[in-house]
Chains A and B, each alone.
Chain A
Amino acid sequence: MSVQTQTQHPRRFLPKRIGPNLLLLIAILFMLVFILAPIAWLLISSVSTSKDLLQMPPNWLPWPPDFSRYRQLLFGSAGQNTTLTDFTLQAFRYSLRNSLIIAASVTLTALVFGSMAGYAFARIKFPFGNKLIYVLLISQMIPVAVLLIPLYITIGNLGQLDKLSTVIVLLVSIHLPFVIWMLRGYFQTLPAEMEEAALVDGATNFQVLTKVILPVSLPGLFSAAAYTFMQSWNAFMIPLIFTSSDTTRSVTVAIAMFVGRHYTDYSLMSAAGVLASLPPVLLAIFFQRYLLAGLTAGAVKG
C-alpha cells in the first residue's frame, strides 16, 4: 500500500524530498569548504617539499606526504638548511614547552581560586555580595589593552619582566573573573540540600566544599578548565609584550616571529603552525561539549 502511494506520485516525491536535501548537501559542502580549505592548505604545506611549494601553480597534492618537517621541529637539527639554525629549532621547542607550562598553570590556578570564589558567591549570602559580583562583572568587561601600560611599568619596576611566572599571573587575573562567573552559575544549579545534610552531619565548611560540592561539579570544572586552557594557550598580546627571550616566549609569539622573519621554508613554518594549533584543536574535537558550555558566556571577552 505504502509502496503504491510512493510510486503513484514520483514527480511530487522528488522535489519535495530530494530537492531540499540536494540544497542542504550543497550548503553543507559550501560550509565545509569555507571552514576547511584554509586549514587544508596549511596542512598540505606542512607535508610538502620546497619544490612542491616554490612553483606556480603549486603541487596541490604532494604524494607521498613528507613528514620530515615535524620530525625536524620536534627532534632534529637544522642540517643543510641555510635560513634556519639549530638555535631557531631549539627556540621553537622551548616555546612549545613554555606554552604548555603557561596554559597548565593558568588553568590550575584559575580553577582553584575560581571554584573557591564561585562557591562563595553561589551559596553564601554577604551583606555586600551583590557589589562584589558587580566588581567581577566590571573586571570582566575591561579590555586588556588598557591595563598593559601600567602593568608593564609596574612589573618592570619589580624586575619581573621576561618571566614565565609573570605571564601566568597576568593570564590568571584576566581569566579568573570569567571562571568565577561560570562556576558560580554551575554551583547554583546544584541542590542546596546536599550541603545542608553534610553540615548537619558535622562536616566542616571546607569539607563540604572539597568532599561534597567539588566531586559532583566535575562537568562544570571541566568546562572551565577546557575554556581557560584554550584561551591561555592562544594568548598572544600578553606573552608578546611581557617576554623577550627565546627561553620564555610562548608558541603563539614564536609563530609570529617565524612569519615576521620571512623564512622561505614554508613547509617548516606550516608544520610549526600545525603543532601550535594541535592542543586547542584536539580540545575542540574531543571536548566540544565542555568547550561550548562557556562559549556564549565568554563571548564578550575580547
Chain B
Amino acid sequence: MKASVRKSRFSSRQKFGLLLIAPSFIIILGLMLYPLLYSLGISFFNLHITAPWLGTTFVGLKNYLSVITDPDMHSALEHTLILAAVGIGLGIPISLLFAIILNRKFPLRGLVRGILIIPWVIPGSVQGLLWSRIFDPHYGALNGILIQWGIITDPVAWLLDPTRALLFIAFASLWGAVPMMSLLYLSGLQSIPEELFDASRVDGASFWGYIRYIVIPLLLPITLINLVLRTIDAFTMFDLVYVLTGGGPAGATQVTGYYLYQAAFTKLNYGYASALAWLIAITVTLLAIFYSRFTLKEETAS
C-alpha cells in the first residue's frame, strides 16, 4: 500500500530528475545556504578570535548596533555612495553614447563591439595594475601626458591625495563597468522598432529630438537596471581598492566591500564583520529583487 502511494508520487522520470538535481543541491545547500545561516548566527556573537580564552559570548544585536553607529563605517558608506554616483552620473551618458554608436551601421562594427567588451573581461587585479601604471606618483602615464602638454611641471601623486583619490578609483571602476552598461543599452536600442525613427523623421523631429523624446523614455527600464547594477557594484567593490590604495590615504578610499574584508580578515572581528556582511547583503538583495522584478516584467512584456 505504502509502496504504491510512493509510486504514484514519483514516477521513474521524476526519480531520474531528482538524481540529476541532487549533486547541485548538495553543493548549493552545503556551500551557500548552510554558511548563510552560520553567518547569521555568528553575527549575534562575539567570537574573541584574538583572545580565544574568553570563549564566545552572545551579544544580541550589539554587532549590528556597532556597525550602524561606527563613524568609519559611515565614511565607507559615504564613499560607496560617491562611487555609485560617479558610476551612474558619468557611466549612463557614456554607455548610452557607446550604445547609440554601436546601433548605427559602419564598417568593422563587429570588431569595435569586440574591443568594447575587453575592459569587462580583464581581471580586477590586472585592472588595478593597469591604473597603477597610469596614476603612478612618479612615472605614470597621466603625469607623463600632463607634463608632455606642459599642464604640470612636476609629477603629482594622484592616489595619495585624499580629496581626489576616490574620484580616480571611481573612474577606474567606471571603465570596467561601461562595457556591460553599453551592451545592456544596445540590447534595449535594438528592440526599438526602426519605424519609430522613420515616423519621427516624417513628423519633422531632429536626431536629437528622436533621442530625447523616443529613445531615452523607451530605455528607462534599462537605465534603471544600470543604476541598480552600479549601486550593487559599488557596495561589493573590492579588487581595485585592494590593489590601488588599500583604502587609503587616511581612509579616503575606504568602501564597504573593502571595509568588510578588513574587519573579517585583518582585524579578525568575525561577529562585527558578519553583521556588516548581512547589512550589505540585505541592501544588495533588495536592489537585486528590485532589478529582477524589472527584468521579469520586461520578459513578460515582450
Tell whether, in the assembled complex, residue A241 and residue B265 are in contact, meaning their CB atoms are under 8 Å apart: yes
A240 to B24, CA, bound (A): 25
Q: Which of B1-26 contact A (CB under 8 A)?
A: 9, 12-14, 16-18, 20-21, 23-25
CB distance from A297 to the nearest CB of B (A): 9
A-contact 0/1 string along B12-44, CB 8 Å cutoff: 111011101101110110111111101100100
Known interface pairs A42-B130, A259-B128, A270-B129. Does A234 touch B14 (Cβ–Cβ under 8 Å)?
Answer: no
Question: Is chain B's binding surface mostly helix, strand, loop or mixed?
Answer: helix
The interface centre, meaning the residue of B9, B124, B125, B232 with most chain A CB atoms within 10 A of its CB, is B125
A146 to B266, CA, bound (A): 16
Asked whether any CB of chain B lies closer than 8 Å to the CB of A49, the reply is: no
A143 to B34, CA, bound (A): 14
Asked whether any CB of chain B lies closer than 8 Å to the CB of A248, the reply is: no
A258 to B131, CA, bound (A): 14
- CB-contact partner of B243 in A142, A169, A256, under 8 A: A256
Asked whether any CB of chain A lies closer than 8 Å to the CB of B200, the reply is: no
Tell whether, in the assembled complex, residue A283 and residue B121 are in contact, meaning their CB atoms are under 8 Å apart: yes
- CB-contact partner of B117 in A127, A132, A145, A284, under 8 A: A284
Classify chain B's interface size.
35 or more
A116 to B19, CA, bound (A): 9
Tell whether, in the assembled complex, residue B187 and residue A281 are in contact, meaning their CB atoms are under 8 Å apart: no
Asked whether any CB of chain B lies closer than 8 Å to the CB of A269, the reply is: yes
CB distance from A260 to the nearest CB of B (A): 7
Tell whether, in the assembled complex, residue B125 and residue A295 are in contact, meaning their CB atoms are under 8 Å apart: no
- CB-contact partner of A236 in B32, B187, B238, under 8 A: B238
Asked whether any CB of chain A lies closer than 8 Å to the CB of B155, the reply is: yes
Question: Is chain A's binding surface mostly helix, strand, loop or mixed?
Answer: helix
Known interface pairs A173-B27, A276-B123, A288-B113. Does A259 touch B12 (Cβ–Cβ under 8 Å)?
Answer: no
Stretch from B161-169, B211-219, B284-292 that touches the partner: B284-292
B-contact 0/1 string along A143-155, CB 8 Å cutoff: 1011111111110
Stretch from A53-61, A65-73, A83-91 that touches the partner: A53-61
B-contact 0/1 string along A236-251, CB 8 Å cutoff: 1100110000000001
Classify chain A's interface size.
35 or more
CB distance from A252 to the nearest CB of B (A): 5
Asked whether any CB of chain B lies closer than 8 Å to the CB of A45, the reply is: yes
A-contact 0/1 string along B102-130, CB 8 Å cutoff: 00101000101111111111111110111
Tell whether, in the assembled complex, residue B183 and residue A205 are in contact, meaning their CB atoms are under 8 Å apart: no
Tell whether, in the assembled complex, residue A36 and residue B13 are in contact, meaning their CB atoms are under 8 Å apart: no
Tell whether, in the assembled complex, residue B20 and residue A299 are in contact, meaning their CB atoms are under 8 Å apart: no
Known contacts A116-B20, A233-B123; 20 further A-B pairs (Cβ under 8 A): A35-B119, A35-B178, A56-B139, A57-B148, A58-B141, A119-B20, A132-B25, A139-B32, A141-B288, A143-B284, A170-B31, A173-B30, A234-B121, A236-B238, A252-B124, A259-B243, A281-B122, A300-B229, A300-B291, A302-B236
Give 30 A-B contacts (CB < 8 Å), ordered by A residue.
Answer: A20-B207, A27-B97, A34-B94, A41-B134, A42-B129, A55-B139, A60-B144, A113-B24, A114-B24, A124-B16, A135-B33, A147-B31, A147-B39, A148-B277, A149-B264, A150-B39, A209-B20, A236-B125, A237-B238, A237-B261, A252-B124, A256-B128, A256-B129, A259-B243, A281-B121, A284-B120, A285-B114, A296-B184, A296-B187, A302-B284
